Amino acid sequence: MSIDQKPHHMEQLKFSEIKIRHHIIFWLIYFGINVLRWGSYFDDYDYSIKTNLIGFPIHMLLCYINIYILMPVFVFKRKYILYLLSIIGVLFLMVVVKFNLTYFLVSNDVWPEGPEITRKFTVNYSIQMMIGELYVITFVTAIKITLDWIQEHQRSTKLAKVQLETELLFLRSQISPHFFFNTLNNIYSLAIEKSDKTAKIILKLSEFMRYLLHETKNKSQTLDKEIMCIQNYLDLERIRFDERLEINMELSGELMDKSIPPMLLLAFVENAFKHGANKNIGKIKIDISITVKEDFLYFRIENPLPAKTIYEQRFDTKSGLGLKNVQKRLELGYKKNEYEVKTEEKDGLFIAQLKIKIR
């Protein structure tokens, strides 16, 4: 995968936003409910409309000042005392404005729902109106905080998904450079000898590279293509090891129309050559079996451990990059009950087994 290659979700990463129409719809609904509420209370819908036409711009202004100015400037910076003083000051100022607008434009009795006729700006009136405005501010702020939390949760979820896909792409792209280095060396040697095998090995390498570059971008790959990729890999290794290498691969079960993560099985095969065949002298035998049974694929591979350094190889074979890669990919993409990886050393052989749910 090239450096500038990105998962397709990275380019499409968009998050839901609160648009202007959402604000308009909210305030229209709130306005309608308030008109009906106080119109029914006073049995005077004309009066209710007029007072709400005065009150709602004040409600809106207070809410937006609090959400977009006071909270970012004071609350988010932990200046709580300054925020408290500011909100009280703004509330008082807006109540003064509301009193005068109601008095001169609607009615001399600015608080008909109060305990008595109110034609003067009193302490009781100001406190009750500030509490009422505070209720509106608290209600709207709670909605805004909730929507922000939902948006942030959505953002975190999508970013986690992108990060997961990026990590999986990186893990899928990890094929040992030693394999390509050795293959190119073989091509070079065969070219010098003018061997008839040169064209064949170049063709096999080309098919293998095409698969790595184009077929591994998807989350899953058909099992038959994955097996074909493994076969190309094995053919390249056969050319390198010549008669020293014996490979037995058994396939059973319904293999068509089954999908698995790309290059997952290939990691086991590469590990067998990196820690087995490459470090052995003489005859090398590798046994591979792939079986599909019900909803699971069963994969098993055996490779010889170097006869003289079995003890030294134990740590390396179990913790090599290839098998760690496999374990990480399975953890990221599958539930615990959907896969199982086993490795063991027995009679001079390293045995790796994978059981994975077919999708």
Measure the CA–CA gap between 10 and 245, rounded to whole angstroms: 44
For the segment 113-159, what is each residue's pLDDT rounded down to a tens digit?
888 888 899 999 999 999 989 999 999 999 989 988 888 888 888 77
Give me the pLDDT at residue 17, please: 66
Measure the CA–CA gap between 313 and 307, rounded to whole angstroms: 10
Question: Which has the minimum average pLDDT: 13-27, 74-88, 243-257, 283-297?
Answer: 13-27
**Site of tokens 């490459």:** 278
Measure the CA–CA gap between 355 and 122, rounded to whole angstroms: 79
Helix spans in the chain (H): 8-11, 20-42, 45-65, 80-105, 123-172, 177-193, 197-210, 223-241, 264-275, 310-319, 321-333
Strands 284-293 and 245-252, how do they pair? parallel
Give me the pLDDT at residue 19, please: 82
For the segment 187-219, what is each residue's pLDDT rounded down to a tens digit?
887 788 787 778 888 888 888 788 777 766 677
Rg (alpha carbons) of the chain, rounded to whole number: 36
At 4, the pLDDT band (50, 70, 90 cuts) reads: very low
**Site of tokens 């496999």:** 326
- Find the mean pLDDT for residues 62-78: 93
Mean pLDDT of the chain: 81
Give me the pLDDT at residue 151, please: 84
Give me the pLDDT at residue 279, please: 62
Measure the CA–CA gap between 320 and 352, rounded to whole angstroms: 12
Residues in CB range of 22: below 8 A, 6 or more apart: none
Structural domains in the chain, CATH included, are 18-168 (no CATH), 177-357 (3.30.565.10)
